[in-house]
Structure 1
Amino acid sequence: MSRVVLVNLASLPMPGNQPIFPIGVRCVQDALDRAGHVTRLVDFVEAPRDLTDLEWLGDGWDVIGFTIRNIDPIDITCSTHVDEYIAFVNRVQAELGRRGIDPLLVGGGPGFSLFGGTLVDKLGLDVGVIGPGEQVMLDIACNPQSFKGRRSTVQGRRHCGFLTDTLRHPSSLMTAYTNAHRAMIGVETRRKTCYQTCGYCPYAYIDGENAGDLKPMDILAEEIHGIYSQGFRRIFFTDGIFNSELRYAKEVVALVRGLALDEFSWSAYFTPKPFDDEFGEMLQGSGVEAVVVSPDSLDDRMMRNLGKSFDTRHMLRFLERSRKSDLPVRVNVVFGGPGETRESVRGSAEFINENLLSDELVMHVGYRVLPATALARQLGMADDQLLYPAFYPFDFDVFNWVIQYLDSRFVTPQLMMNLMAGRAAARKMAKMELSPGITPAPGTAYLALAGQGGVSGCDH
C-alpha cells in the first residue's frame, strides 16, 4: 500500500485559466482508492489555502502526482501556463528538500502527455505517464522505488475498471465546482482512439492504442444520477467525437432522454458524419445545448489540407438534418491553416454567409502547432520547440480577408475585438527559423514565442 497525493495543476490561479472539474485525475484517484492505497487530491478551487500553505507535503506521501490538463489558456493567444507549472513544482521541490523528504514525483494528464519527455526534464520529475493513467499509476503505487530517478515516460494502457466501476466524486469537490456560474462537469462514455486524421489534432496520440471500451448504460446512468444529485445540471460528454460510433451514441441519447431530469442539459463534440435523420430526431428534446461540429474550414480544398474525413457536402446534409429537427448548432472555423489563401477564405465565407445563422459561427485565426501532429511534421519541429506557443505560418492579410468576405451579421463587436487582439498578438510574436528544407508559402511568417526558457515573445 502506498500513500499518493495528486495535485491538480489545472486549478492553479493563472491568467486566462478557466478551471473545470478534474475528471481525469479523479479517475486515477478512484482506481487507487479501490486498490487500497491512501490518496488525497489537492485542488486549489476546493482548497485555495493549499496553494500557499504547503503543510500537506508533510503527510508521508510515497508518490506525488502532478496533473496538467492544458498547456496554454483556452483562448488562442501568445501566452502559456508552462512557467506557472514550473514555478509551482519548483516550490514543492524546495519545500520537500527543506523537510528532507524524497517522494517519487510523477507527471500526467492530457496536456502533460503532449510534451511528456520535455516536461519530465523541465519539471524535474522521476517519471511521466502518457495517455490514460489509471493502470500505470497502479503499477507505480505498488512499487514506487522501482520508478525512482528514471527521468523517462511510460505509455498508459487500458484500465478494465472503466467498464465495471461507477465513478462517484467527493461532495466537497463537487460543491467547490458547482459554485461556478453555469458549472459543467465531464462524463466519459467511451475510450477509443479517434479515427479522424485532422492535421492539427493530437487526440489519437494522447489516447494511445485503444481499441474501444464502451461504458455500460447502467453504470453511465448511475454516474449521471450521482452528478445530478450533487447539484450539477450540465454535463459534457468528453469523447473526442460523440457520434463516431452512431449506434452507441444513439444509446446514450436514449438513456439521457429516459432519465428525464429537470433542468438538465448536455453537450459534446460531433461530426457531420455519421449523422442520420433518426439521430437528429433523437437529439431533439434531449436537452442538448448545442451540436458542435468542427470543419475548421468550409472550403473543400482547405478541408482536405486539414485532413478532414468529410467535406462541404456532408456539412450541408448535417445542417439540413439539424434544421429539420430544430437543433442548436455551433460550427467552429479556424482560418490560417496549411495553404490558406484569399480564395479559400472567400470560399469559407461564402458557405458561412449562405448556410449559417448569425449565432452559429465560432471563429478563430491561427493553428497552434502541437507534437505528434501533421502540422508539426510539416514544419519539421521537435517537441521541445513547441512547448511554448508556436503557430503554423499564415498570411497576416487573413484578418483583413475575413472581415472583407463575411456578412456584416457575423462581424460583431466581439469578433472585431478578437480579430484585432489576435492580429496585434501575432505581429508581436518572434519569428523563428524553420528546419532545413522547410519553406513556408510566399507571404507567410512562422510565428512562435521567443525565449523558450520562459521569456514571453509577446513583449518584443
Structure 2
Amino acid sequence: MNVLLLSTNRNTLPMPVMPIGACLVAEAAQRAGHQVRLLDLMFLADPLGAVESAIRDFRPEAVGLSVRNIDNNDMGDPVFYLDELRRIVSTIRGCCEAPIILGGAALGVMPEAMLRLVPATCAVVGDGETVFPELLGRLARGEAIADLPGVALVEDGGFRRTPPDLTRFSPRCPSPDYRRWLDLGAYRRQLATVPIQTKTGCQFRCVYCTYPGIEGSSCNLKDPESVADAVARLAASGLRDIEIVDSVFNAPLDHAMEICAALARGSAAARLQCLELNPRHFNDELLGAMEQAGFRGMGITLESAADPVLAGLNKGFTSREVHRAAEAVRRHRIPCAWIFLFGGPGETEQTVLETLRFAKTQIRPGDIAFFNTGIRVYPGTELETIARRQGVLSRPAAEMLEPTFYLSPQVDARWIRQQLKQALADHMNFIDMGSLSLPFLPSLHRIGAGIGLRPPLWRYTRFIRRGLRLAGMDV
C-alpha cells in the first residue's frame, strides 16, 4: 500500500520535539513492504496545503496521523490542539477516501473521546511498530480489524478497544534514521535534542499520570548495550545532543546504572540529558555514573517539597529524600532542572511556601527551578476520583477532552501567582509556564545555535533573563 504518515505536532514551545514514534512506525511499515511517506507538519507555513499536496501527489491508500498531545497542560493559558487535528482530517477527507488511522501518545490517554471528536477509521493504542504494519496488512487484504490487539474503533455507535499484546516486547533500543524522515536542520537550528527510550512503562502510581495507561504499569527494559549502540550511531552521524525520554530514567536504579556504564564504554562523543529523574532512586553513585556517561543536563521531577502534597500526589518519596537529592546534586557538576507543580491534593499556602523556601535555599544558582500551577485531569486517573470527591470537578468524563484542571480547594490560584511573581523577580534562575510560551523563544534558540550554544538551553536561564531585563522586558 501507499501509506502517508502525518506527524501533526506543531508546538515549538519551549522547543520542538522530534517525532520518534512517527519515525519508528514509518520504518516498521516500510519493512513490511509498504511505500511510506512521512510528512512532518512542525515547521510548515501552510500545513493544510502541504497535506493536500501530499495526498494528490502520493495517492495514499491509508493515512496515519501521529498525535502527540491533546493540549498544552497550561491552566493559565490553555491551548486545545485537537481543533487543528479536525481541520487536518477534514482536509484529508476532501481529497481522498483512504482509511484514516490515529495514533501517538494522545490516543493512549482518551481514545474513545478522540475517535468521537475526529472521524477516523480506527486508532492504534498498542505498540505502533507492531500494530500499525499488521493493521495495514489487514486493510490491504480487506480483512476485519476490530479484533486486532492494540486497536480501538467506534462501530455502530459503540466503542471497542482490544488490549495490546504485551508479550511482543523487544529489548532492542529503537533508533530510527531521522535523516530519512525529518528536516533535521530545522530541528537543530531550534536546539532540539534526539529522543531515545531505555525502557517503556512506569512502576509509579502518581495520581495524575496517564503513563500506565499508555505504556503499562511495569517496566520493560531495553538492553543496555543496545542503548549504547543506538547512542553511538546517532553521535557518529552528527546527532550528538541526545535526550533520554523515559517516564523515569533512574527506576529501576540498577538498570540506569547499567545504561550509564554501557554509555561510558562506547559513546563519549554524545551530549546526553534526561529531565525525568526521581529523588527516591538518586544518589552519588548514580550521579557519578551519569557524569562518566556524558550527561550534560538532568532534571528532577519533584512537583513539591512538602510532605502533604507528595502524599496527596502519591509520588512515592518524601521531603527528606528531596533534600537528600539536593545535597547530592551540589556534590556533582551536572546542571540540574528542578520541576515543581503547585496545586495538587493537600496543597495549602503553607506547603506552597515550603516548596518555594526549598527552591530558594537548596537549588544552586546555576541550576533552574521550573514552576507550573494546576494539574491536567484525565478520565480514569485517581486525580479524577479525588476531584469529584472534593466537589471541584463536575464535567462528565466524556467531556474531559477539553482542557480540565485540578487545583487544591485549600489554595487560591491568584495567591500562588503572586508568590511566584515575587520569587521570579528575586531569582533569575526561576521560570514558569509563561516563560516557556514566550513567542520569541524560537528566535532565542536560533541565536543560541548560531553562536555555538548546545542543549540544554535552560543552563543559561539566569543570563538570558538578565539580558532581557536590561532590554526592558519583564520576563
- Normalising by the residue count of structure 1, what TM-score does the alignment of the two structures yield? 0.80
Residue 303 of structure 1 and its aligned partner are, at CA, apart by 0.8
Identify which range, 118-127 or 279-288, moves more after superposition.
Answer: 279-288
Q: Which residue of 2 aligns with 1:454?
A: none
Contact preservation (8 Å) 2:73, 2:376: no
Residue 106 (1) aligns with residue 120 (2): no
CA displacement at 1:282 relative to structure 2: 1.3
Relative to 1, partners in 2 of residues 1:26 and 1:260: Cα closer, same or farther, differing over 3 Å?
Answer: closer
Q: Does 1:129 align with 2:129?
A: no
Q: Does the CA-based 8 Å contact 1:28-1:137 persist in structure 2?
A: yes
For residues 103-147 of structure 1, give each alpha carbon's deviation from its aligned partner in whole angstroms, at most 9, with x where no partner exists: 221111112221211111211011112242222213211211423
**Among residues 313, 316, 329, which one is paired with 1:322 in the alignment?**
329
- The 3 A distance-change label for structure 1 pair 283 and 48 is same
Gaps of 5+ in 2: 147-152, 389-394, 439-475
Aligned residue number for residue 214 of structure 1: 221
- State yes or no: 1:255 paired with 2:262: yes
Q: Quick one: distance in 2 between partners of 1:408 and 1:256?
A: 40
2: distance between equivalents of 1:87 and 1:106?
15
Aligned to 2:203: 195
Distance 2:174 2:434 in 1: 44
Check whether the contact 1:32–1:39 (CA below 8 A) recurs between aligned residues. Answer: yes
Deviations 1:73-105 (A, max 9, x none): 365522211111111111111222xxxxx3221
Superposition TM-score, scaled by structure 2 size: 0.77
Instruction: Kindly provide the CA deviation profile for residues 131-190 of structure 1, in whole angstroms up to 9, marking residues without a partner as x.
Output: 422222132112114238854444444474733475331524263454433220111111
Equivalent residue number for residue 447 of structure 2: none
Q: 1:343 to 1:109 in 2, by over 3 A?
A: same
Q: Does 1:230 align with 2:237?
A: yes
Q: Percent identity?
A: 23
SS in 2 for 1:147: coil
Amino acid at match of 1:93: R
Q: Which residue of 1 aligns with 2:86?
A: 86
What does the per-residue CA deviation read over 1:192-219, in whole Å, with 9 as the maximum and x for residues that have no partner? x21111112111111135x443222343
Q: How far apart, in 2, do the equivalents of 1:397 and 1:181 lie?
A: 33
Aligned residue type for 1:3: N
Q: Show CA shifts across 1:216-257 (max 9, x none).
A: 234323322232233322111121100111111111112222
Supply the distance in 1 between the matched residues of 2:172 and 2:65 (Cα, whole angstroms). Answer: 26
SS in 2 for 1:387: coil
The alignment partner of 2:413 has SS state of coil
Q: How far, CA to CA, are the matches of 2:36 and 2:109 in structure 1? A: 26
- The equivalent residue for 1:438 is none
- Give the one of 301, 307, 311 matched to 2:308: 301
Structure 1 window deviating more from structure 2 (129-138 vs 64-73): it is: 129-138
Residue 430 of structure 1: aligned partner: none
- Residue 135 of structure 1 contacts residue 157 of structure 1 at CA under 8 Å; is this kept in 2? no
Q: Contact 1:29/1:41 (CA < 8 Å) preserved in 2?
A: yes
Shift in Å at residue 3 of structure 1? 3.2
* 60-69 or 164-173: bigger deviation: 164-173
Superposition CA RMSD, Å: 3.1
After TM superposition, the structure 1 = structure 2 runs for residues 417-432 of structure 1, keeping only pairs within 5 Å, are: none
Cα distance in 2 for residues equivalent to 1:327 and 1:340? 30
Q: CA 1:130 to 1:310, structure 2 compared with 1: closer, same or farther past 3 Å?
A: same
Q: Secondary structure of the equivalent of 1:330?
A: strand
